[in-house]
Chains A and B, each alone.
Chain A
Amino acid sequence: MKWKNYLIMFIMLFVIWLLLNNSLEKEIVLLGLGISLVLPFLLCGKCEVFTNLNLSPKAILYSFLFLFTFLIELVKSNFDVARRVLSPSLPINPGIVEVKTKLKSKIGRVILADSITLTPGTLTLELIDDSIFVHWIDVQSVDVQESTKLIVSNFEKYLEVMYG
């Protein structure tokens, strides 16, 4: 499974190199190819980050769907915060709630926590085993299952396919 880590790291480094250089000249592409081939072997002796990444076509389709959902939620969250900030009565109802995740892999949990932070009114405070403690600007439910449904399940269905 180690090869998958090397391969993904190589692709990422190479793509970032190309984007930064913004040209397809022969020397630049060859230099980037060489560096991004060598670097994973130097730096990534025990990388396990991508071991659980699923590379089936369905998973790739779901990553795009996830990105799309995520962008919509990001825009929604911004308008939500703008509305709260601008209304004179400051309609907030904050609290810290606990939600549970079904994801097993570390990278999946990290991406879930980050997505929660960037979606409307929620901010991840702590991740202990399978429970995530979330600061919610407008608490709608203190029940673990209910808040899990409201906060997590939107992203979890995609991440489950991508990372398991």
Chain B
Amino acid sequence: MDTNLLEIIGGFIAIAGSIFLLLGSIGLYRMPDAYNRIQAGTKASTLGTILSLVGLFFIFPSWFGKFMVLILFVLITNPVSSHVLARAAYFIKVPLTKLTQVDKWKEHRDIDESRKAHLRKVKIQKEGE
């Protein structure tokens, strides 16, 4: 296969990647709350970045190793960073959207809180005796 054809294929793959990145940013604009925005941002940007790198690989085949390492790092760091962002948002009480159906984590934390409060009460009672 001659170089030109490879470059064209690579260009198309990179364009597909950038379309996913564009969709991710539209998602950031349209979604109603922080958590849904993080969802849209993470997913689209992962595949978008990977496809752009694959496209570049077709254009610069000799950089194969570097692209592999980059894809690996994107795959490892992307979910971790979005998870940490969402977790931090939850801890500083960023409100969930009104569309939200259920919040099991809040229930879990409430149970935890009431258990701790109960233990504290028991301890105070014992100290009083």
What is A's interface to B at a CB cutoff of 8 Å?
16, 18-22, 74-75, 77-78, 80-82, 84-86, 90, 92-98, 113-115, 117-118, 120-121, 123-126, 128, 131, 133, 135, 137, 139, 142
Contacts and interface: CB of A to CB of B under 8 A. Distances in A.
Interface string B15-42: 0000010011011001111011011101
A164 B66 CA distance: 32
| Most B C-beta atoms less than 10 A away, residue of A95, A117, A124 | A117
Contact of A94 (B36, B62, B90): B36
A22 B63 CA distance: 7
Contacts of A75: 47
B46 A98 contact: no
Given A81-B27, A96-B104, A125-B105, A19 B39 contact: no
A142 B106 CA distance: 14
A126 B87 contact: yes
- Interface SS, B side: helix
Contacts, number: 135
B66 A86 contact: no
A118 B27 contact: no
Contacts of B44: 78, 81-82, 85
Interface residues of B, number: 48
A120 B36 CA distance: 12
B83 to A, nearest CB: 5
A133 B108 contact: yes
Interface in B72-108: 75-76, 78-80, 82-83, 86-87, 90, 96-97, 99-106, 108
A142 B104 CA distance: 8
A125 B69 contact: no
Contacts of B32: 90, 92
